[in-house]
Amino acid sequence: MSTTNNFSSDTPLDQIMPTLERDGYVIIKDALSAEQITRVRGELQPHLEARDGVNGFLGDRTRRVGRLLSRSTAVQELVTHPLVLSIADAVLLPYCVRYRINYTGTMCIEPGETAQALHRDTGFYPIQNPAPPLILATIWALSDFTAENGATRLVPGSRHWTDDKEPTPADIAVAEMPARSVLLYIGSTLHGGGANVSNTARYGLGLHYALGWLRQEENQYLAVPPEEARKLPQKIQELLGYSLGAAALGFVDHQDPSVFLNDTDNTQAGDVHGDLLNADNKLKRFKISGTAAVGRNYFHEAVGGKKP
Ligand SMILES: O=C(O)CCC(=O)C(=O)O
Ligand SMILES: [Fe+2]
In order of their start, the domains of the chain are 6-221 (2.60.120.620)
Of the residues 27, 116, 145, which should be mutated to test ligand 1's pocket, given the most ligand atoms within 8 Å of the CB?
Answer: 116
Q: Which residues have CB under 8 Å from 174's CB, separation 6+?
A: 1, 2, 3, 147, 151, 152, 153, 194
Ligand 1 atom 8: the closest Cα is on which residue? 192
Contact 177, 43 (CB under 8 A): no
pLDDT of residue 50: 87
Distance 151 CA to ligand 1 centre (A): 9
Provide the 10 A C-beta neighbour count for residue 198: 16
Q: What percent of the chain is modeled with pLDDT above 90?
A: 73
Please identify every residue whose CB atom is under 5 Å from ligand 2, which is an ion: 121
Largest CA distance in the chain: 69
pLDDT of residue 292: 60
User: Cα(32)–Cα(142) distance, rounded to whole angstroms?
Assistant: 9
E runs forming strands in 120-235: 135-141, 153-154, 173-174, 182-186, 191-192, 202-211
Ligand 1 atom 9: the closest Cα is on which residue? 58
Quote the distance between the C-alpha of residue 81 and its chain's center.
Answer: 13
Please indicate whether residue 192, judged by its CB atom, sits closer than 6 Å to ligand 1. Answer: yes
pTM for the model: 0.93
Please indicate whether residue 139, judged by its CB atom, sits closer than 6 Å to ligand 1. Answer: yes
Distance 298 CA to ligand 2 centre (A): 35
178's enclosing H/E stretch is: none
Ligand 1 atom 5: the closest Cα is on which residue? 193
155-156-160-162 Cα dihedral, nearest 10 degrees: -20
- Nearest to 207, CA basis, from 198, 196, 215, 218: 218
Of the residues 25, 108, 191, 208, which should be mutated to test ligand 1's pocket, given the most ligand atoms within 8 Å of the CB?
Answer: 191
49's enclosing H/E stretch is: helix 34-49
Ligand 1 atom 2: the closest Cα is on which residue? 193
pLDDT of residue 126: 87
**In the chain, which stretches have pLDDT less than 50?**
none
Please indicate whether residue 105, judged by its CB atom, sits closer than 6 Å to ligand 1. Answer: no
Distance 132 CA to ligand 2 centre (A): 18
Please indicate whether residue 191, judged by its CB atom, sits closer than 6 Å to ligand 1. Answer: yes
Contact 204, 78 (CB under 8 A): no
Q: Is 39 exposed, middle or buried (0-12, 13-18, 19+ CB in 10 A)?
A: middle
Of the residues 61, 107, 149, which should be mutated to test ligand 1's pocket, given the most ligand atoms within 8 Å of the CB?
Answer: 107
Cβ-count burial 173-194 (b if 16+ within 10 Å, e if not):
bbbbbeebbbbbbbbbbbbbbb
User: Cα(213)–Cα(244) distance, rounded to whole angstroms?
Assistant: 9
